[in-house]
Amino acid sequence: MKSLDELAKIRDSRRAALKIREGVPSATEKAHIMMCGGAGCISSKCTDIVEAMKECLAKNGIADQVQIILTGCMGPCDMGPVAIVYPDATFYRRLKVKDAEAIVEEHILKGNPVQRLLYRTPGAKEPTRCVHDIDLFKKQKKIVLRNNFYIDPTSIEDYIARDGYAALAKALTQMEPGEIIEEVKKSGLRGRGGAGFSTGMKWGFTAAAKGSPKYVVCNGDEGDPGAFMDRSVLEGDPHSIIEGMAICGRAIGSEQGYVYVRAEYPLAIERLSNAIDDARRYGLLGKNIFETGFNFDIEIRIGAGAFVCGEETALLTSIEGKRGEPRPRPPFPANAGVWGKPTVLNNVETWANIPEIILKGAEWFSTIGTEKSKGTKVFALAGRINNTGIVEVPMGTTLREIVFEIGGGIPRKKLFKAVQTGGPSGGCIPADYLDTPVDYDSLGALGAIMGSGGMIVMDEDTCMVDIAKFFIDFCVDESCGKCSPCRIGTKRMLEILERITTGNGKEGDIELLQELATTIKSTALCGLGQTAPNPVLSTIRYFRHEYEEHIKEHYCRSGVCEFKE
Amino acid sequence: MATCSCCCGEDELTKQLDKIIEPYRGQPGGLIQVLTKAQELIGYLPKWALISIAKGLGLSLQDVYGVVTFYAFFSLIPRGRHKISVCAGTACYVKGTKMVTKTLREVLGIKPGQTTPDSRFTLEVVRCIGACGLAPAMIIDGKDVHGRLEPEQIPQILEQYA
């Protein structure tokens, strides 16, 4: 593809073919069945259901009138396997192989949706058929996951039909590099990896930095235990990452990008690498893109299982094929990143926002969210919650809305105890603060962090001291060992927590934990160490009584800890 | 991760390893990619492979060893035919990883990090496989996710892997 006309031609012809997914009945096709192909649904054997549907379609002689597409994660993992049937956008959940026949013969042939497979809002008499009417989805706002209900992630033309690569075309033909950076700055987009630094400013620093070549890097080393948002973007809409990175390449004057993905995500690696190949074939990566003289290409680097590699300086070292140990900042990656050259490093979710911001404008984006946190945030809801899965909500949505309205509350009528955000760097937020709007600053004020978006819900059966121990154990395991506060300090904290949870806690242990925590926070080399004590500090802050019960009474109110008397 | 014990001896493996190294010859930056592919080929990273990789990429053996031991993904010892990775991410932990690991230890008679004497299974506890919606979960051979585990299902699941 060389010109904007060609892009528009592909978009228009493909868009016409996909009208059915926007609810417009087609003259030649009866239905498009979008089967969720996220990790959860795949492991619940959704591919077997696809096979059964295909057989049934063939048996009825309508195989050429129905398309079945395996999409990226649709979100409600707990209800999997799930599917959406277009044009009427019927949402089916908990599908089994034996349901394939009913869907084909009742719904597709006769037009009667299969009632027993529809979603029921808890307490409602009637099921809700249309995906757009289901509360769980209505309360969400999809920017990052804009395509997950609609496209085949292995088809570049599906992505183009949804205005894919139109933002890149705009950035290359209608905008100066400085304007792109200005637009991103104005949008108010902040890094979705957790720290929340202004993305536009980061780009600005790198553009201004001396040194060449410059690099664009995507952090897909989603290491937070309990988080799977980046995975769902990489698997469900890989082209959005490629497009976002290419736009940045134009803005800062870079011709080479790297995407760093964890080895634990083989499907994400496969989809992304196919997407990169397709983009090259269509001339959207490579030399002289849209005949503007702009060159850009992307390579995948596979992470080999080290949490610390999510820290930016460690990740950059790992891309160079070395031990992923962090180094002190400054110099920041904007001045000295990969191979010591100026580098922009952003998280998967941040990249996925970029094409929408360029296409629809900073003004549109900044109307969503709160004053200081713009746009949406994708969260991975998990733990003791009914609707586990992926959700995307505007910044400023309260924790209560996320946990109880979208997440459906706690199973088995148990009592909500806390929600943990930010993984091993974050904190536990108790019930009293459920009405806190979720944005970078409010969560920070509670001693938690936004983090990358893991949100683990805990109920009365979760022991908060045990959870603190779990996170510290994680950090001890994942500490790279380069600096002593992290290497030794977290180990000492773990020893204290082990003694508390086995009934050997001593008077003064809580204070000792706090002292160690404060020291580690202020002296560790990198983000991993500096934030490692957060789960301990936040649980002491809100659940000190549980620590005291363990120490003084050898009592664990959740019945998790076993005391050896 | 299949161990190549089917057709080829070390000679054949050496040839195939050379093919993996070739595109990265003299490029130390390719080390992690080469190690990943080499482990895919051989099943683990024996000393002879590390020596060829070091020579091929222009690194010292010490550099290569340093990288191999830094990343959890790489193994210096042979593993079983099937790798069981029990997820110990937060969601799984909250929903019962401890119980899953305990059952696996009992059924297999080995601890995490060990391989059964018949080389059938290697047991590992890993950090988050990103299937939190299915907690507690484990992944076998890096691709088969088994979720919402109950202890009594585990022996049946293992039977599928000879």
Question: How many whole angstroms separate alpha carbon A496 and alpha carbon A525?
Answer: 23
Question: A421: buried, middle or exposed (CB in 10 Å: 19+, 13-18, 0-12)?
Answer: buried
B56/B114 same-domain check: no
Q: With a cut of 0.90, is the ipTM above it?
A: no
Q: What is the mean pLDDT of residues A329-344?
A: 96
Instruction: For residue B128, list chain A residues with Cβ-Cβ distance below 8 A.
Output: 223-228, 264
Give me A565's structure tokens. 């008397």
Could you give the 3-state DSSP secondary structure of residue B72?
coil
Contact A306 B71 (CB under 8 A): yes
B92/B48 same-domain check: no
B66/B90 same-domain check: no
Minimum distance, in Å, between the CA of residue A532 and any CA atom of chain B: 15
User: What fold characterizes domain A464-553?
Assistant: de novo design (two linked rop proteins) (1.20.1440)
Judge whether B144 is closer than 8 Å to chain A, CB to CB: yes
Q: Is residue B120 part of a domain?
A: yes
Which B positions 13-32 lie with beta carbon below 8 A of chain A? 28-32
Q: Is residue B134 part of a domain?
A: yes
Q: Is residue B63 part of a domain?
A: yes
If phi over 0 gives left and psi between -120 and 50 gives alpha, with beta otherwise, what is residue A293?
left
Instruction: For residue A470, list chain B residues with Cβ-Cβ distance below 8 A.
Output: 90, 93
- For residue range A483-524, what is the model confidence (pLDDT) as tens digits? 999 999 999 999 999 999 999 999 999 999 999 999 999 999
Instruction: For residue B124, list chain A residues with Cβ-Cβ distance below 8 A.
Output: none
Judge whether B142 is closer than 8 Å to chain A, CB to CB: yes
CA dihedral B143, A385, B126, A221 (to 10 degrees): 80
Return the closest-CA partner of residue A384 out of A355, A404, A368: A404
B51/B104 same-domain check: no
Contact B95 A224 (CB under 8 A): no
When the candidates are 3.30.70.580, 3.10.20.30, 3.10.20.600, 3.40.190.170, the CATH number that belongs to A376-459 is 3.10.20.600
Nearest by CB to residue A263, choosing from B73, B94, B135, is B73
Could you give the 3-state DSSP secondary structure of residue A63?
helix
- Domain ranges in chain A? 18-137, 156-366, 376-459, 464-553
Which pLDDT score, from 0 to 100, does residue B6 have?
A: 46
Which pLDDT score, from 0 to 100, does residue A121 have?
A: 86
Instruction: For residue A454, list chain B residues with Cβ-Cβ distance below 8 A.
Output: 90, 132
User: Beta-carbon neighbour count of residue A64 at 10 Å?
Assistant: 11
Q: What is the mean pLDDT of residues A520-542?
A: 96
Q: What is the CATH number of domain A18-137?
A: 3.40.30.10
Spell out where A75-142 has E strands: 83-86, 90-92
B44/B110 same-domain check: no
Which pLDDT score, from 0 to 100, does residue B5 have?
A: 47
Contact A321 B72 (CB under 8 A): no
Q: Is residue B5 part of a domain?
A: no
B37/B91 same-domain check: no
Identify any residues that bridge with A379 across adjacent strands, giving them in sequence order: A391
Which pLDDT score, from 0 to 100, does residue B3 have?
A: 47
Q: Does residue A536 have a pLDDT over 90?
A: yes
Which pLDDT score, from 0 to 100, does residue A327 have?
A: 93
Q: Does residue A263 have a pLDDT over 60?
A: yes
Q: Does residue A208 have a pLDDT over 80?
A: yes
Which pLDDT score, from 0 to 100, does residue B151 have?
A: 92
B42/B105 same-domain check: no
Q: Is residue B2 part of a domain?
A: no
User: Beta-carbon neighbour count of residue A408 at 10 Å?
Assistant: 19
Which pLDDT score, from 0 to 100, does residue B8 have?
A: 57
Which pLDDT score, from 0 to 100, does residue B105 have?
A: 96
Judge whether A302 is closer than 8 Å to chain B, CB to CB: yes
Instruction: For residue B68, list chain A residues with Cβ-Cβ distance below 8 A.
Output: none
- For residue range A396-428, what is the model confidence (pLDDT) as tens digits? 999 999 999 999 999 999 999 999 999 899 999
B103/B65 same-domain check: no
B97/B149 same-domain check: yes
DSSP one-letter code for A112:
-
Whether B148 and B99 have beta carbons less than 8 Å apart is answered as no
- For residue range A153-172, what is the model confidence (pLDDT) as tens digits? 999 999 999 999 999 999 99
Nearest by CB to residue B36, choosing from A263, A380, A456, is A263
Determine the residue among B93, B95, B149 to mutate to test chain A binding: the one whose Cβ has the most chain A Cβ atoms within 10 Å: B93
Judge whether B35 is closer than 8 Å to chain A, CB to CB: yes
Instruction: For residue B93, list chain A residues with Cβ-Cβ distance below 8 A.
Output: 225, 470
Instruction: For residue A324, list chain B residues with Cβ-Cβ distance below 8 A.
Output: 70-71
Please, what are the averages of pLDDT over each run of 10 residues along chain B (162 residues)? 52 93 93 94 95 96 96 91 91 90 96 93 87 87 88 94 92
Could you give the 3-state DSSP secondary structure of residue A182?
helix
Q: Is residue B96 part of a domain?
A: yes
Minimum distance, in Å, between the CA of residue A379 and any CA atom of chain B: 12
B14/B57 same-domain check: yes
Number of structural domains chain B divides into: 2
Which pLDDT score, from 0 to 100, does residue A565 have?
A: 63
Domain that holds residue B37: 10-70
- For residue range A351-384, what is the model confidence (pLDDT) as tens digits? 999 999 999 999 999 999 999 999 999 999 999 9
Judge whether B128 is closer than 8 Å to chain A, CB to CB: yes
Whether A334 and A209 have beta carbons less than 8 Å apart is answered as yes
Could you give the 3-state DSSP secondary structure of residue A317?
helix
Nearest by CB to residue A454, choosing from B63, B90, B93, is B90
Minimum distance, in Å, between the CA of residue B88 and any CA atom of chain A: 8
B50/B104 same-domain check: no
B48/B90 same-domain check: no
- For residue range A53-101, what is the model confidence (pLDDT) as tens digits? 999 999 999 999 999 999 999 999 889 899 999 999 999 999 999 999 9
Counted across chains A and B, CB pairs separated by less than 8 A come out at: 137
Question: How many whole angstroms separate alpha carbon A427 and alpha carbon B42?
Answer: 42
Which pLDDT score, from 0 to 100, does residue A44 have?
A: 83
Judge whether A407 is closer than 8 Å to chain B, CB to CB: no
Q: What is the CATH number of domain A156-366?
A: 3.40.50.11540
Q: Is residue B65 part of a domain?
A: yes
CATH code for the domain of B111: 3.40.30.10
